[in-house]
Amino acid sequence: MLLRRLSVTIYTRDRGRKSVGGGKLKTIEDINEKIESGKAVVLTAREFKERVRKKKTRAEDVDVVTTATCGLMSGTAAILSIPITRGGKFERADEVWINDVPAFPGPCPNERLGIVDVIVYGTARSESKPQEYGGGHLFRELVEGKRVEVKVKADGKVFRKKVTISELGFAKLLTTRSSFRNYMGFLNTKKGKVKSIFSVMGLRGPYEEISVSGCGEINPLENDPHLQTIGVGTKVLVNGAVGYVLSKGTRSSVQRPNLSVVADMHGMSPELMGGFVTSSGPECVTSIAIPIPVLDEKIFSNLEKTDEEVGLPIADIHDRVPFTESDYGKVWKNTDLKIRFNPRKCQEHEVCEVQKYCPTKAFRKGEGIDESKCFNCGACVRLCPNGAFEGNLGRIEIGGKEIPITLRQSNRERAEELASMLKRMIIRRKFLLANPVARLE
């Protein structure tokens, strides 16, 4: 590792480093020293991009930019170790459910210990409420400290126990793929309505509406697309808890990289995670924040990219193959990150469509929006016939037609809050940067 560094840098007496082509370099150690001394300049991605638009920043003026994303991440799972009964009561667990969500026992059978180790998928569905409750909901309820019911079939017997996360000595959340370098938009090019994980009520066609995913310019991998600073062992936040990058995720590619990460569930924040009910069933919400150290001019140059420069491929929901492209400026520039509720426009109906179909169950008639659950997806704006929910989600032009965005499956406001959380942790010396132990080849 040292030889690799020496081949591309020249050391100077003041510990600053200059690249062979000119342009000053910093190291992770240099930045951590500045953090420890309270001298580090840390900006959230939103703050940094504002400076970029005003052309008021240089590489030497910034040490760390905190980036983040919050959205539906299907490739999320939990590994839990659950005490069920005292030792000797059963030899090996055959089947396990938690709040009626299937869990997979193993790989360690925990013979005769009365403990089960299980893996639960974020997209697993409750057997009694498959269209309403899934793994993402379960993860959030655990983090909220709620008591969940565990049912174990073993040796022809059934064991039941209610537990909280405080009783689980091991509770890790991991992702097989997450934090994609943004994603894409979907629409239905044919007549009719198509149910999919990218819609709440089904995508109407032809060319009636667009569903989008991706946090644009604040997304971690949009700010480090070549994985110059992100590697194996990079320290991150996962749903607010300190975690680490394990590797590239499944389906990762040079053009669209993504990450596999892991963190302890005990330190997570429930408002940064949860379940999201689509027209095809429950999905899982996960949030990830990553600090990008400004080590050289190339890294700084990547950080300068704004929403208008971030491509947004548009695909037909039938084959999910992009056929045109827009940009994230259409999604996040001059639009409303937060959905507003006007109770004066709320009228009595036999069935409140918003309460019935809100994908995170954030709205209750007579109570309004539960901000801790609201995903700012915008589904309510179209669902309410009286216009009680307000929010400009943007429009995308395709073939000369302005098509409205009616659903956002990424929560930019929440991602910005997470980036701010990471910034505060760094400034307060509660989070130091970690050197990757290996590159993500």
String of DSSP letters for 314-378: EEETTT--EEEEEETHHHHTTS-SS-EE-GGG----SS-HHHHH-TT--EETTTEE-TTT-----
Q: What is the pairing mode between strands 148-154 and 157-163?
A: antiparallel
Cβ(376)–Cβ(405) below 8 Å: no
How much is the pLDDT for 440? 93
Q: How many CB atoms lie within 10 A of CB 60?
A: 14
Sign of CA dihedral 112, 115, 121, 123: positive
Mean pLDDT of successive 10-residue stretches along the chain, which has 441 residues: 33 38 73 97 98 92 97 97 92 95 89 92 97 98 98 94 96 97 95 96 96 98 96 98 98 94 98 97 98 96 97 96 96 97 89 95 92 97 94 96 97 98 98 96 78
| pTM of this structure | 0.93
Residues 6+ apart with CB under 8 A from 287: 68, 69, 70, 71, 237, 238, 239, 240, 272, 273, 414, 415, 418
Q: Which pLDDT score, from 0 to 100, does residue 24 have?
A: 53
User: 130, 137, 45, 73: which is closest to 422 by C-alpha?
Assistant: 45
Q: Do 438 and 245 touch, CB atoms closer than 8 A?
A: no
- Is residue 111 packed enough to be buried (19+ CB in 10 Å), middle (13-18) or exposed (0-12)? exposed
For residues 273 and 265, the answer to whether their CB atoms sit within 8 Å is no
> Which letter does DSSP use for residue 305 in this model?
-
